[in-house]
Every structure is written in structure tokens, then in C-alpha cells.
Amino acid sequence: MDVDGTLTDGKIYMSAQGEAYKVFDIKDGYGIKHILPQMGITPVIITGRKSDIVQRRAEELGIELIYQGISNKLCLLEKIINEQNCTLDEVVYIGDDLNDLECIKKAGLGVCPVDAQEDVKNGANYITVRNGGNGAVREVIDYLSSEQGKGML
């Protein structure tokens, strides 16, 4: 799963001192921390940016597989699924921009928020009703929960 534009609204807030801030949706966090483990789904973060904020949020949510500063997300995703002994068909991937598109296309279920970039929406199997950073990830978790899917997000 991507972060900026998926777990956040894609905006970076900066203070006059240069400190960056990001906003996360509490419903997404609850789903990741409390619902995914009950379903046997391992959350994975693959993000193009590096951020202490993302590291801290991931730790709060119990996400152990965190990869930051990744330019080729598909290459890393393929490595992860080999290490986790699963297949791309078992992967649910959610992202919002062109650097997520190949993962979205190759995943068993490729998802994007409704406010994703147009080419990404065209490549996704499922487009959420909610915007990134506003419950889009929780929407997917609730969908998976209703389907009782297993795999990685």
C-alpha cells in the first residue's frame, strides 16, 4: 500500500521552520491495526518518499514491513511476495499515482482512491468511493472483511 494520496490526502503541510506534517485518517488506522490481523492479512507500506512521520505511524499501527524511498515499487513487491511465499494474485494493492500503476495492474486486486490520477483509475480493478486519506483504505478493508479475503495489502 502506498502512503501519500492513499493513507494521506497527498498534501504535505510545512511549518515556517521546515517541519513537515501529514494527516492520517483514524478509521484507516483502526482497520489496519485491528481488522487486518483478524483476517490474516499482512499490511505492507511501499512509498516513494522517506519520512519519519510514516515510520512512526506505521509503528503505531503495528506495520512491520515498511519500505520508503522506493522508485521501482513493482520490483520490490515481487521480492516481498517471494519472501512471504505468496503470489501476485493474493495481493491487494492500493495506490494513487503513476508510480503505483504497475503494482495495481499486477495485483490480484488493484485499488485506487477515487481522487487518484486518471491513468491509475483506468488501470484499477476497484476505485473507492472515498478519497485518499479520508477512509479509502478502511473502505477496502471493510470490503475484504465482507469477502473474508486472505493476502497482503
> Is position 89 annotated in a ligand binding site?
no
* CA-wise closest residue to 1 among 72, 78, 100, 80: 100
Helix, strand and coil percent figures for the chain, each rounded to 5: 40, 15, 45
φ, ψ of residue 86 to 5 degrees: the values are -135, -175
| Contact of 33 with 64, CB cutoff 8 Å | no
Q: Rounded CA gap, 54 and 137, in Å?
A: 15
2 is in an annotated binding site: yes
**Any known ligand binding at 142?**
no
Residue ranges for the known binding site for Mg(2+) are 2, 96
Residue ranges for the known binding site are 2, 4, 96
Residue ranges for the known binding site for substrate are 4
